[in-house]
Structure 1
Amino acid sequence: MTALLIGNVGVIADERRMSDYRAKVLHTLELYGGGFMIRGGAFEALEGAWRPTHLSVMRFPTAAAARRWYHSPEYRAIVPLREGTHMDLILLEGEIEDGGD
């Protein structure tokens, strides 16, 4: 089953360090079969109270691969670059719908 990670970056503590994190994170995703589907861009909250500020959607072949990435030494090595920055990260697992009936 495909897994998606939905991430929201909130208040950034150190813009320079966060820029370094952003430059390095894609490589760590790719090592575990992942990548960005959407990185940033316009969005609109249609319902609810959640007011994200910067959204990204990452895709992995499985939830296990996403978890391996999240706990990997490669990713853990760059996490300190975003220290003090608010981050939400949600793992969603399921079948990708093709829209056909």
Structure 2
Amino acid sequence: MAGYVIFNIKITNPENYKEYIEKVKPTAEKFGAEYVVRGGEFELIEGNWEHPRTIVIKFPSYEKAQEWYNSEEYKPIKKIRLDNAISNGIIIKGE
């Protein structure tokens, strides 16, 4: 069963956030990740969607998604995002 990492993000410092965009994808790909959604136009159809940017990353398994998020490789990159954006994130099992 695949694992998905989903972020809903509001970038607060676009200039510094560029470094995150450059570094995050190769790190996730080491864990078998495939980006399904990386920003893009959307239409809110129900409820509240807190931030304007949505990211969906598919991993081969739920466990691989967790491994990536908690990895030493991602730790310094995650800090870049946390320092330059407000975000909500989940890891979820899927098909």
Q: Would you call these one fold, judging by a TM-score over 0.5?
A: yes
Q: Match for residue 27 of structure 2?
A: 28
User: Paired residues, what number?
Assistant: 94
CA contact under 8 A between 2:11 and 2:17: conserved in structure 1?
Answer: no
State the alpha-carbon separation in 1 of the partners of residues 46 and 26 from structure 2: 34
Aligned identity (percent) is 33
State the alpha-carbon separation in 1 of the partners of residues 49 and 8 from structure 2: 11
CA contact under 8 A between 1:7 and 1:57: conserved in structure 2?
Answer: yes
CA contact under 8 A between 1:45 and 1:51: conserved in structure 2?
Answer: no
Q: Match for residue 6 of structure 2?
A: 6
CA contact under 8 A between 1:40 and 1:56: conserved in structure 2?
Answer: yes
Structure number with greater Rg is 1
Q: Which is richer in strand? A: 2
Give the partner amino acid of 2:87: M
List gaps (5 residues or longer) in structure 1: 96-101
State the alpha-carbon separation in 1 of the partners of residues 11 and 20 from structure 2: 15
TM-score in terms of structure 1 length = 0.84
- Secondary structure of 2:93's match? strand
Deviating 4+ runs (over 2 angstroms) = 49-52
State the alpha-carbon separation in 1 of the partners of residues 24 and 84 from structure 2: 17
List gaps (5 residues or longer) in structure 2: none
Q: Match for residue 52 of structure 1?
A: 51
Structure 1 position 62 matched with structure 2 position 64: no
Alpha-carbon RMSD:
1.4
